[in-house]
């Protein structure tokens, strides 16, 4: 029988791993390095993606050697009997990183029986550490976070992410983008799902929508948004499943129904 681990211990391990990986990314940022392409347009990977991932996994394994891992570069670890799973994106925003744009993040989440219970998003260049524990709130560098109170699209700042296959399936996404833009809101694309969700939790934007994300892109961010008082669903408003590649709508809650209506049309 596996005993339950305090979420604070999980969070501390995630913070330590994120800070160590962040030091590596800081050292590599702006330097010359080889860039490789994965399948799909603008789908890059660098030596720093895999090196940062190794640092994160090894750091966490020192504390929790029996836990399972699901990470962007190395995939799923060997089947583990542990109910604990770490969901990791070592460098979310590789395209930004490779082009000397400082908007990229490390995302680490701990799940217990498929429920996200602790999460960290770290922006190394900005020195911003976003943390959350299930039921205990979301924080930025130790300061409690809350989502915006904006209640209409006209006054909202939103963010989105262009689908990687937009050249093949342009109509649905661009149609919804145009409808939402016509409501008068400002729309941004920062190039990192983890960063977008952290910004939403911090009250910098009021909603975020994107057609397709992987678990490692959104696991920590979903918890951050919810612990900051926001809402995360699929486009149709139904409860969101982190462990499926799927669309995501996150908001401050107040404009959620309006966003669902726009995305379902």
Q: How many Å apart are CA 229 and CA 201, to the nearest integer?
A: 8
Q: How far is CA 43 from CA 40, 93, 161, 181, 194, in A?
A: 6, 10, 14, 27, 16
Average pLDDT over residues 17-24: 97
Runs of H (alpha helix) within 116-192: 170-181
Where are the CATH 3.30.540.10 domain residues in the chain? 7-144
pLDDT on residue 48: 83
Does residue 39 register a pLDDT over 60? no
CB neighbour class for 258 (10 Å; exposed up to 12, middle 13-18, buried from 19): middle
Query: Does the domain formed by 153-264 have CATH 3.40.190.80?
Result: yes
What global pTM score does this model have? 0.92
Largest CA-CA distance found in the chain, in angstroms, rounded:
55
pLDDT, position 107: 98
CATH superfamily of 7-144: Fructose-1,6-Bisphosphatase, subunit A, domain 1 (3.30.540.10)
With a cut of 70, say whether residue 116 has pLDDT above it: yes
Q: pLDDT tens digits, residue range 208-218?
A: 999 889 999 99
- Please state, rounded to an integer, the average pLDDT across all residues of the chain: 90
Confidence of residue 175 (pLDDT cuts 50, 70, 90): confident
pLDDT score at 1 = 42
Count of positions (residues) in the chain:
265
Residue 230's CB is within 10 A of a number of other CB atoms, namely 27
How much is the pLDDT for 162? 85
Residues of the chain with pLDDT > 90, as a percent, come to 72
**CATH 3.40.190.80 residue spans of the chain:** 153-264
> Residues 124-152: pLDDT tens digits?
999 999 999 999 999 999 999 999 999 99
Q: pLDDT tens-digit profile of 80-114?
A: 789 999 999 999 998 899 899 999 999 999 999 99
């Amino acid at each position: 029988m596996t005993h339950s681990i305090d979420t604070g211990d999980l969070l501390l391990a995630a913070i330590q791993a994120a800070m160590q990986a962040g030091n590596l990314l800081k050292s590599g940022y702006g330097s010359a390095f080889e860039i490789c392409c994965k399948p799909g347009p603008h789908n890059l990977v660098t030596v720093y993606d895999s090196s940062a991932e190794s640092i994160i996994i090894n750091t966490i394994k020192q504390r929790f050697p029996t836990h399972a891992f699901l990470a962007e570069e190395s995939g799923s670890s060997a089947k583990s009997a542990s109910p604990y799973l770490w969901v990791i994106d070592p460098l979310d925003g590789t395209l930004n990183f490779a082009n000397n744009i400082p908007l990229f993040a490390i995302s680490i989440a701990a799940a217990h029986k498929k429920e996200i219970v602790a999460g960290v998003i770290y922006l190394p260049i900005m020195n911003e550490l976003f943390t959350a524990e299930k039921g205990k709130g979301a924080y930025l560098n130790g300061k409690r976070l809350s989502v915006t109170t904006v209640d209409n699209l006209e006054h909202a700042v939103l963010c989105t992410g262009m689908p990687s296959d937009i050249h093949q399936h342009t109509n649905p996404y661009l149609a919804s983008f145009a409808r939402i833009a016509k409501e008068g809101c400002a729309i941004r694309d920062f190039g990192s799902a983890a960063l977008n969700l952290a910004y939403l939790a911090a009250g910098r934007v009021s909603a975020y929508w994107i057609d397709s994300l992987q678990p490692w892109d959104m696991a920590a961010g979903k918890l951050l948004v919810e612990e900051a008082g926001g809402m995360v669903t699929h486009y149709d408003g139904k409860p969101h499943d982190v462990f499926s590649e799927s669309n995501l709508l996150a908001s401050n809650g107040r404009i959620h129904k309006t966003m669902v209506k726009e995305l379902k049309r």
